[in-house]
Amino acid sequence: MTSIAKAPGKIILFGEHFVVYQNKAILGAINKYATVTTEKTNTDNILISSSLGQSSIQKDEDVSNVEKKFRPFFYIAKQVIEKNNFEKGITIKIESDIPIGAGLGSSSACCVAAAASILNLFNITDEKEVLELAINAEKTIFPNTSGADCTVSVSGGIIEYQKEKGFSKIETENEFNFIIIDSEQVHSTDKVVERVRKFKENNSDVFTELCSEEERLIAKALDSMKKNDLETIGKCMAQNQMFLEQIGVSNDELLSITKEIEKITFGAKITGAGDGGCIIALTQKDDDLSEYVNTTKYQTYQVTIQKTGMQVFNT
């Protein structure tokens, strides 16, 4: 049997950075996917092939010895092989149209698709099991991951996440469309998070007030999503962008992209860590953005919120 699973990437709509300090964050799954194809083999090896190269280990080898980019997938395979007392190996093929390193949940989607595909080889399709395995796999490279990216990839749609309370799905029948602009600026999430921590330390009262304002803004945005009020959602995004600029996670290039795309959309903001990565802007389904797309020097992606999360197939 060949087992195939696909899982969507994500954008953060509201709340990045503030979520670290007990605020909510709102994430949406997008129609860009990681696809993982797996098969049982008659060898003793776990073999991975992907656009990032190939790697192979003996199934009883320690995953901490392997290249970081392949580590989560060896971890998943080993966990499932051991749990099911399987005596042979597995081949894993990873494909993805989610840009890598852009803050769009590429690694999480790959972990979810790999967990779903490999568990399915052993007739295990429980979403909770897939999610737990995917989060633990991602922790082999990002020890402090919240699990939010994996969660929205499993569930699809839009979710609300808060550190203390966990996750809940936002139920809405409305369709939301975005254009993503990739600045292609390389950034370090750890460094940006540390910069925000220092801002909070040095500007305690200001940061506390920003957290309160962000909380009010997210409540307004969620209400507007349920009403399909795109203008208000766009205004909330622009306001959230101002907060992100205030805490120091924007830069001149991101600001320039935001100002330009705001002219032809409802509103725009950084998605993710900032200081690089991507800008998202809210659009309508039939908006003609071809002039911008064809003339900008940046890579763009027109996406919609993907209501379906991970999917599994057998061939």
Let me know whether 102 and 212 are in one domain: no
Distance CA(240)–CA(218), nearest Å, equals 9
Could you give the CA distance from residue 147 to residue 165 in angstroms, rounded to a whole number? 13
* Residue 200 resides in a domain: yes
Last residue of a domain, one of 141, 174, 207: 174
User: Residue 252 is part of which domain span?
Assistant: 177-304
291 and 280 in one domain? Answer: yes
Under a CB-based contact definition with an 8 Å cutoff, are residues 155 and 131 in contact? no
- DSSP conformational letter for 107: H
Give the 3-state secondary structure of residue 72.
helix
Tens-place pLDDT, residues 56-113? 888 888 888 888 899 999 999 999 999 999 999 999 999 999 988 888 999 999 999 9
Q: Same domain for 112 and 201? A: no
Which pLDDT score is estimated for 25?
94
Answer yes or no: are the C-beta atoms of 130 and 154 closer than 8 Å.
yes
Residue 309 lies in a domain: no
End residue of a domain, out of 174, 203, 237: 174
Considering the chain, what is the average pLDDT of its residues? Answer: 93
Q: What is the CATH number of the domain that holds 299?
A: 3.30.70.890
Per the domain annotation, does 128 fall within a domain?
A: yes
Q: In what order do the strands lie in the sheet with 177-182?
A: 267-271, 278-283, 177-182, 299-304
Q: What pLDDT score does 185 carry?
A: 87
Both 242 and 127 in one domain: the answer is no
Q: 214 and 119, same structural domain? A: no
Query: For 248-259, how does the pLDDT look when each residue is reduced to its tens digit (9 = 90+)?
Result: 999 999 999 999
pLDDT of 181 reads 97
Instruction: Please indicate, yes or no, if residue 47 is contained in any of the structural domains.
Output: yes
The pLDDT tens digits for 272-310 are 888 889 999 999 988 889 999 999 999 999 999 999 999
Residue 66 shares a structural domain with residue 8:
yes
Last residue of a domain, one of 154, 174, 194: 174
Q: Are residues 29 and 86 in the same domain?
A: yes
Asked if 105 and 135 touch (Cβ cutoff 8 Å), the reply is no
Name the domain count of the chain. Answer: 2
- Computed from CA positions of residues 304, 307, 310, 313, in that sequence, does the dihedral angle turn out positive or negative? negative
Q: Which two tokens stand for residue 42?
A: 């008659």
Q: Which residue has the higher pLDDT, 191 or 133?
A: 133
Q: Is the C-alpha dihedral spanning 34, 139, 162, 19 positive or negative?
A: negative
pLDDT in tens, 188-229: 888 888 999 999 999 999 999 999 999 999 999 999 999 999
Q: CATH number of the domain that 125 lies in?
A: 3.30.230.10
User: For residue 22, is pLDDT > 90?
Assistant: no
User: Are residues 140 and 26 part of one domain?
Assistant: yes
Q: Report CA-CA distances (Å) from 46 to 25, 66, 88, 92, 168.
A: 37, 12, 9, 8, 35
> What count of residues does the chain have?
315
- Residue 28 shares a structural domain with residue 14: yes
Beta bridge mates, 35: 6, 95
Percentage of the chain lying above the pLDDT 90 cut? 78
Kindly state whether residue 113 falls inside one of the protein's structural domains.
yes
Claim to verify: residue 68 and residue 208 sit in the same structural domain? no
The verdict on 160 and 203 lying in the same domain is: no
Whether 21 and 167 map to the same domain: the answer is: yes
